[in-house]
Amino acid sequence: DIVMSQSPDSLAVSLGERATINCKSSQSVFFSSNNKNNLAWYQQKPGQPPKLLIYWASTREFGVPDRFSGSGSGTDFTLTISSLQAEDVAVYYCQQYYTTPFTFGPGTKVDIK
């Protein structure tokens, strides 16, 4: 199984400042046949289901604000919130969909400082 890890476990950022979350997979999730990384990022607010933010590691889902961006390749990935807003308080999860089981990272909780 591919094990997903995330760092930090939690972070507190001032409004308008940058938040950076890291995700690491135990093996590469790069799919050479389509030249893409099978890595997604989700946002989950309290009492709500997850919401897809980013797929193929760096493609923003329709309607997601452009302050959210994803980067990385192979085994190391990053989700960046360029200017944190109050509505961004949530837990963020990465997930690999390269191979079953489609494992999630443990999550990173983002709060306002």
Partner 1 sequence: EVQLLESGGNLVQPGGSLRLSCAVSGFSFSTYAMGWVRQAPGKGLEWVATINYRGDSTYYADSVKGRFTISRDNSENTLYLQMNSLRADDTAVYYCAKDSGSSGYDPGDYWGQGTLVTVSS
For partner 1, the binding residues (CB under 8 A) are: 1, 38, 40, 42, 44, 48-52, 55, 61, 91, 93, 95, 97-98, 100-107
Compute the distance between CA of residue 98 and CA of residue 6 in angstroms, rounded to an integer.
Answer: 17
Bridge partners of 43, per DSSP, are: 51, 92
Q: How many CB atoms lie within 10 A of CB 68?
A: 19
Number of H helices, E strands in the chain: 0, 12
- In the bound complex, what is the minimum distance in angstroms from residue 21's beta carbon to partner 1? 14
Pick the closer one to partner 1 by CB: 16 or 49.
Answer: 49
Pick the closer one to partner 1 by CB: 19 or 57.
Answer: 57
- In the bound complex, what is the minimum distance in angstroms from residue 7's beta carbon to partner 1? 14
